[in-house]
Homo-oligomer: A and B are copies of this chain.
Amino acid sequence: MTSFRFAVNVTPKPGILDPAGRAVEGSLGHLGIEGVQDVRIGRRAELTVEATEVTVARAVVERMASELLSNPLIEVFEIESIAGASSATDSQAGAD
């Protein structure tokens, strides 16, 4: 078995009201920040899957994303493969 690390990005569907995004936009003036628009706020899940191969692992993540991590009526998700395998404790603040 191999460990595969994935991220699932869940964002509001286009056209769906995004109150958190509006709140962020409303706060920009207090920070003196201009030129920012179209803010969408969603969730990001990072997880490790133990599987025999990556396609099997990704299928598990697809199922989790659609049944547990997102609401298909109002949200879309995308899955990305990320580095880190079974240990994902190496992320850094501000890293690109």
**Which A residues are within 8 Å of any B CB, using their own CB?**
1, 5, 7, 9-11, 14-15, 21, 24, 27-28, 31, 33, 35-51, 60, 62-69, 72, 76-80, 86-96
Contacts and interface: CB of A to CB of B under 8 A. Distances in A.
Contacts of A36: 47-50, 60, 64
A78 B60 contact: no
Output the residue of A24, A66, A93 with the most chain B CB within 10 A.
Answer: A93
A31 B43 CA distance: 21
B51 A77 contact: no
5 contacts: A14-B91, A24-B68, A35-B50, A42-B44, A66-B94
A39 B47 contact: yes
A9 to B, nearest CB: 5
A72 to B, nearest CB: 7
Contacts of A49: 35-36
Contacts of A76: 91-94
